[in-house]
Amino acid sequence: MDFFGSTSEKLKIPLLSDSISAGFPSPADDYIEENIDLNEHLISNPFSTFFLRVKGDSMINAGIKDKDLIIVDKSLTAKPGNIIIAMIDGEFTIKRLSIKNNELFLKAENHNYPDFSFRNHIDIQIWGVVIYSIHSYL
């Protein structure tokens, strides 16, 4: 029954089972540490961090693939070179914030997808900065 319990806790602290502690103390007792919590390691601003899902391979050259989970931190101010989420014409888009001839634009990392220039789109709003993408190999 405890088998199911292990997936439910956000941060599980491993404990030794009774049967072992009844006999000799385990030599590992003093070295047991908490499990690794990815939230803690990947997310430094939890209150401004959101998860989104990508559909399409517009960022394939940046290593972001269809169906990837991405982690977005809205507290960061976007800098050229960052991969960002923007709102354009009522939709989310994922692009790289880039600079060409002293002008900022949003670059798709796949030549089948369009770039967006701030000049041609009045209604661009940068929503957040992508800090990680998570891809499943299964």
Partner 1 sequence: MKSSSIEAIALIDANNFYASCEQSINPYLRNKPVVILSNNDGCIIARSPEARALKIKMGTPYFKDKERLNKLGVTVFSSNYSLYGDISRRLMNLLRNHCEEIEIYSIDEAFVSISRPDDKDLHPWARRLRSLIYQNLGITLTIGIGENKLRAKVANNLAKKIDYSAGIFDLARTKDENNYLKGISVDKLWGIGKQTSKWLKSKGIKNAKEFRDMEENEIIKKLGIVGRRLQLELKGYKCLPIEKRKKSKREIQVSRSFGTPITKSEDLTQALAIYAIKASAKMRSQNLQTSAISVFTRTSKYSSQNYQRSAYKKLINATNNTNTILKIVVALSKEIYNPEYKLSKAGVLMQDLTNYEYLQQSIINYKPQKDIQTSENLMKTIDSLNKRFNNKAITWAIAKKPREWTMNRNLLSRTSTTNIKQIPTIVEKKYN
Smaller CB separation from partner 1, 102 or 120: 120
Query: And the tokens for 45?
Result: 């601003």
Residues 20-55, buried b or exposed e (16+ Cβ, 10 A)?
eeeeeeeeeeeeeeeeeeeeeeebeeeeebeebebe
Smaller CB separation from partner 1, 127 or 132: 127
Q: Which residue type does 131 have?
A: I
Minimum gap (Å) between residue 51 Cβ and partner 1: 5
Is 58 a residue of the active site?
Answer: yes
Question: 8, 17, 95, 100: which is the annotated catalytic residue?
Answer: 95
Question: 12, 19, 58, 107: which is the annotated catalytic residue?
Answer: 58
- Taking CA atoms, 50 is separated from 45, 76, 112, in Å, by 10, 12, 27
Binding residues vs partner 1 (CB under 8 A): 1-2, 4-5, 7-8, 47-48, 50-59, 69-70, 74-75, 85, 87-88, 90-94, 108, 112-114, 125, 127
Distance, CA of 74 to CA of 84 (rounded, Å) = 10
Minimum gap (Å) between residue 31 Cβ and partner 1: 27
Minimum gap (Å) between residue 54 Cβ and partner 1: 5
